[in-house]
Amino acid sequence: MSDDVLLDVRNLTVHYKTKSGPVHAVENVSFKVHRGESVGFAGESGCGKTTLASAILRILPPNAEIVEGEIWFDGQNILELTPSEFRRHILWKRISMIFQGAMNALNPIIKIGEQIEEAITLHEDVSPREAWQRGADLFQMVGIEPSRINNYPFEFSGGMRQRAMIAMALACRPDLVLADEPTTALDVTIQAQIMELLRELQDTLGMSMILITHDISVIAETCDKTAIFYAGNLVEFGPVEKIFLEPMHPYTRGLIESIPSIENAETRRLTSIPGAPPDLSSPPPGCRFHPRCPWATELCKVKVPPLNQVGKDYMVACHYATAEGFNPPG
């Protein structure tokens, strides 16, 4: 890991236009990812993780609108590139992705080798033969017999398709990979294998990774940093070892306390947070978490808490979190 900033998201706000008004899916989100670093995104379903990842990949659906903000990648604001410039110079080559259903990203009736070869030759000046060879090497790397590159996706099991998808994502040696629930569709043992593979590859290839998962224990095992989202807001961002041991934001506390630990999984009650996240077409004023927060005050009901710097590369959006710690009144 280095101090070299690769991705710098600044005040990003994304809304979806719907018949019943705008959905405030991502609100004023800022964070940085350094070269070689892995960041895990966590938070309940519907809190804006996929929207944020799609904004970075410029694959937002047509009803989405980037209301505000900038996304700097390796020194340039990628929101200023035209769609064709982005596809030509950034997508797959510099920033690539691993989706949850690999079947959707791979064409079932074209040999996997051909699909990888095409991805490589589209972006790099190499011969089809070299590209094919690189595909075979990648298969080896992700643990598939290289000759299977001659197969069609439908001939693969779910786990193997996901491995092939990873090979595809790595084909052009990207600087950043976004993995959105990469193992959700797979059974538990295969999930663990795929996560182990991703962790290893990220480490040996020195690339940066954003990993989105509903399983925050995977983030604790895999990532350097974590970003905790609540109702479209980034509420806590910082080093995994800090946040998992001593979370500051009341939402993060609830989230982390609800991870069942292996030793006392049977005896300990799940301390889930009472209530439910708000409807993002009419989020509450002030701190979006205040209706569920045991420490909420009058201030929390009216004033949106800014993301405060509370340590090195550590930010928390709570009126009562500062560099001195979490100190709610009373």
Q: List contacts with Mg ion (CB under 5 A).
A: 50
Instruction: Check binding of 55 to ligand ADP (CB under 6 A).
Output: no
Full 3-state SS string of 170-237: HCCCCCEEEEECCCCCCCHHHHHHHHHHHHHHHHHHCCEEEEECCCHHHHHHHCCEEEEEECCEEEEE
What's the token pair of residue 129? Answer: 């033969």
Q: What are the backbone angles phi and psi of residue 49, rounded to the nearest 5°? A: -65, -50
Instruction: Check binding of 63 to ligand ADP (CB under 6 A).
Output: yes
Q: Which listed range, 32-40, 42-50, 124-132, 215-223, lies at the site for ligand ADP (CB under 6 A)? A: 42-50
* Binders of ligand ADP in range 2-21 (CB under 6 A): 16, 18
6: three-class secondary structure by DSSP? strand
Chosen from ligand ADP, Mg ion, none, partner binding at 76 (C-beta under 5 to 8 Å by type): none
Measured from the CB atom, the residue of 65 and 196 that comes closer to ligand ADP is 65
Sorted by sequence, the CB contacts under 8 Å of residue 89 that are 6+ apart come out as: 81
Instruction: Check binding of 327 to ligand ADP (CB under 6 A).
Output: no
Measured from the CB atom, the residue of 53 and 315 that comes closer to Mg ion is 53
* Binders of ligand ADP in range 272-311 (CB under 6 A): 280
Figure out which of the listed residues 47, 144, 195, 227 binds ligand ADP, where binding follows CB under 6 A. Answer: 47
Look at the block and give the residue holding tokens 């569920």: 292
What's the token pair of residue 137? Answer: 């090497």
Measured from the CB atom, the residue of 48 and 159 that comes closer to ligand ADP is 48
What's the token pair of residue 261? Answer: 């630990």
Measured from the CB atom, the residue of 23 and 172 that comes closer to ligand ADP is 23
Interface ranges with ligand ADP (CB under 6 A)? 16, 18, 23, 25, 45-51, 61, 63, 280
